[in-house]
Amino acid sequence: MPKGPDEIEEIFAEYDPDIARRLMAYIRPYARHLGLATALVLTASAMSLAGPYVVRLAIDEGIQKRDVRALMISVAVYVILYLIIWRVRIYQTDIMVRTGQSIMYDIRTQMYAHLQRLSMSFYDTHEVGRLVSRLTSDVGVLEDFATWAIVQLVNNAFVLIGILVVMLAMDWKLSLLTFTVLPIMAVGTFFWRARAREAYREVRQAISRINARLAENIWGVRVIQSLVREDLNFKLFERINRRNLEANLYAARLSSIYFPAVEFTNAIAMATVVWFGGHQVLNGHITAGVLVAFLLYVDRFFWPIRDTAMRYNSLLATMASGERIFQVLDTQPEIVDKPGAVPLPPIKGHVVFDHVEFRYKPDKPVIQDLSLEVLPGQTVAFVGATGAGKTSLIKLLDRFYDVTGGAIRIDGYDIRDVTVESLRRQVGIVLQENFLFSGTVLDNIRYGRLEASEEEAIAAAKAIGADEFISKLPYGYHTEVQEQGAILSVGQKQLVAFARALLADPRILVLDEATANIDTETEKVIQTALQRLLKGRTSFVIAHRLSTIVQADIIAVVEHGRLLEKGRHDELLALRGRYYDLYTMLYSRQQMAALAQD
């Protein structure tokens, strides 16, 4: 289910074998790499386990017996041992990093491709920030589990068993004394894990709230400053930030209690070994080398236990992240090519709305029994109050949504019977707030027709009236527009969008409030270009500017999803119906706006 802006997602989830099985599908192609990495880890750990034994030989055979040669051999073996371990660790780390990054690459690539295919209804109910988090944070959690966690858990088990075997073989009595502290550590770990899980959940939730508040305030900074909300917003942010501070301090206190307690337990075990082992050395039951080696093994014995406890929360976080990722991947696009769909051939632009019905929700009709025929080359202006259903009609035409009743036909083809790609390649859209992508001005003009030459793109910009301001940019058409076209004004972005539409050369053109954000001076520049853009194309215009409306071949008045009136400007004015009222209202507003500018 989609979440509201104030809802916090679960950070942890119980172990789910189905999610684990699906995650393994991404790991399986790299099984050989992970197998090699595991073998290298186990090799390094096995050699590391030999280290204390070499120390024992150095003490017993070298120092105790005053045998310099034996001491030198022991030291040399110890150094060579860890040189080999160092080299093995390098290979193992390289393999694991490459494997982890490859798994992340595969998941992100699949998710990105899937997101590109999902319908508009999905994006209507899912926040962009959360979707970005799926591709970044959640995939990162999976990478940690798929490589380091799995390999390390195998290694922890190997090291633990290896140390147990070696310790029992060296002295089973000392081993049993060492193990007496394990119940204490197990109980402590159990209680810490439960509290740490809640603490780290609160930390993640707190930082999530901070990120949400920051994003909202940065995006709305103009409104905040215009309404002098800085002080109030600062207080709200300070409150959220304080909760984040308290959550982090509490988590830190838990760690400051648990980990020193583990070290203290370790110290108790070693002190026990020193006390009883020391007596055995004095009594001649064991050698000093055995005692030192035993102490080194005891010190290493607790590390895999601590690490395994820490991996538990990683496993739970992986289950939650995996669940969220698969929720996205399991969402099927609503708009897909039906079996047997055919490519839409080059069209003339004859559009028929045949008793069209549409609703976003079953109980809320948006378009009701709307019929309209548009001949090739005609321009239709949809007018009506906000929420009348004008933009929904445009979305249906480009098949961002499917009609729930009736049909839309282009040149006799029901648009549900043709492939989505072939339909959208012949329908161009210019929106009120057009999105410009990072890159150059030229890149954005050619966005809908990548094969176009630079000369063709410049010709389109000149035809639309954009060349004048583009030429004045620091690097002309090769100027980087920055994020969302930050260096351009709203009107300039619209002009770039018009040039992009002209270069794409669609047979059907949609202008959705496309001149709403253009000032009067800019409007004069593009009116001639608009006439050229619309000429020879079937065009659908949603506009509030009279200059755009009155020139339309058909003016369609939409109210509550129904077609109330249709005709030319003069015809509808003569009726003195709904269009007359809307026109009079718009005329009065624009006259007042013109006087205000003067």
Q: Give a yes or no: residue 345 inside a domain.
A: yes
* Mean of pLDDT values over 322-343: 89
The answer as to whether 150 is a domain residue is: yes
* pLDDT at res. 2: 44
Does residue 401 sit in the same domain as residue 545?
Answer: yes
Q: Nearest to residue 129, comparing CAs of 230, 24, 233, 2?
A: 2
CB-based contacts of 224, cutoff 8 Å, min separation 6: 217, 230, 233
Average pLDDT over residues 2-8: 45
Any idea what DSSP says for residue 386? T
Please report which helix (H) or strand (E) contains residue 293, including its range.
helix 288-330
Position with higher pLDDT, 73 vs 361: 73
| Beta carbons within 8 Å of 41's beta carbon, 6+ residues apart | 92, 151, 152, 154, 155
**Least confident window among 169-178, 232-241, 541-550:** 541-550
Q: Is residue 254 part of a domain?
A: yes
Residue 148's pLDDT is what? 74
Predicted confidence (pLDDT) at residue 404 exceeds the cutoff of 60: yes
Give the range with max mean pLDDT: 190-204, 206-220, 240-254, 309-323: 240-254
pLDDT of residue 5: 42
pLDDT digits (tens, 9 = 90+) for 453-499: 999 999 988 888 888 889 999 999 999 988 777 788 877 888 888 88
**Per-residue pLDDT for 283 more than 60?**
yes
- Indicate if the pLDDT at residue 238 is higher than 80: yes
Please report the pLDDT score of residue 76 as a whole number: 95
Identify the pLDDT of residue 272.
87
Structural domain includes residue 491: no
Could you report the per-residue pLDDT of 82-132, keeping only the tens digit for each?
A: 999 999 999 988 998 898 889 889 999 999 999 988 888 888 777 776 777
What is the model's pLDDT at position 341?
92
Q: How far apart are CA 535 and CA 150, in angstroms?
A: 64
Distance of CA 454 to the CA centre of its chain: 33
Q: What is the structure's pLDDT at 77?
A: 94
Are residues 242 and 229 both part of a single domain? yes
Residues 135 and 52 in one domain: yes
Residue 487: inside a domain: no
Structure confidence at residue 590 (pLDDT): 57
Q: Coil, helix or strand for 118?
A: coil
370's enclosing H/E stretch is strand 364-374
Sign of the Cα pseudo-torsion (565, 567, 569, 575, in order): negative
Residue 368 has pLDDT above 90, yes or no: yes
pLDDT of residue 362: 81
Residues 329 and 342 both lie in one domain: no
Indicate whether 304 belongs to any domain. no
Q: Are residues 147 and 24 in the same domain?
A: yes
Which residues on adjacent β-strands are paired with residue 511?
430, 541
pLDDT category at 6 given cuts 50, 70, 90 is very low
Q: Which residues contact 596 (CB under 8 A, 6 or more apart)?
A: none
20/373 Cα distance (integer angstroms): 54
**pLDDT at position 408, please?**
95
Ranges 35-39, 387-391, 521-525, most confident: 35-39
Same domain, 185 and 144: no
Give the 3-state DSSP-derived string for 405-430, with helices as H, strands as E and coil as C: EEEEEECCEEHHHECHHHHHCCEEEE
What pLDDT, on a 0 to 100 scale, did the predictor assign at position 154?
A: 86
pLDDT at 214: 78
Same domain, 266 and 190: yes
Question: Residue 554 sits in a domain of what CATH number?
Answer: 3.40.50.300
Print the domain residue range for 346: 337-426+509-518+540-598
- 105 and 221 share a domain? no
- The pLDDT of 308-313, averaged and rounded, is 73
Q: State percent of the chain over pLDDT 90.
A: 26
For the cut 70, the answer to whether the pLDDT of residue 369 exceeds it is: yes
In the sheet that holds 562-567, the strands lie side by side as: 427-430, 508-512, 538-542, 379-383, 554-559, 562-567
The pLDDT value given to residue 517: 57
pLDDT of 374 above 90? yes
pLDDT in the model for residue 516 = 59
Helices (H), 450-519: 454-464, 467-471, 490-504
Q: What is the pLDDT of residue 554?
A: 93
| Residue 5 domain-assigned (yes or no) | no
Are 206 and 281 members of one domain? yes
Q: Which DSSP string do the residues of 48-101 spell out, in sequence order?
A: HHHHHHHHHHIIIIIITTT-HHHHHHHHHHHHHHHHHHHHHHHHHHHHHHHHHH
More confident residue, 415 or 214: 415
Per-residue pLDDT at 259 exceeds 70: yes
User: Do 397 and 252 fall within a single domain?
Assistant: no
Per-residue model confidence as pLDDT tens digits over 411-469: 999 999 999 999 988 998 887 667 788 889 999 999 888 888 999 999 988 888 888 88
Average pLDDT (512-540) is 71
pLDDT digits over 537-554, tens only?
899 988 766 767 888 899
Mean pLDDT across the chain: 84
Q: Are residues 251 and 105 in the same domain?
A: no
The secondary structure of the chain in percent helix, strand, coil, rounded to multiples of 5, reads: 65, 10, 25
The domain total for the chain is 3
155 within some domain: yes
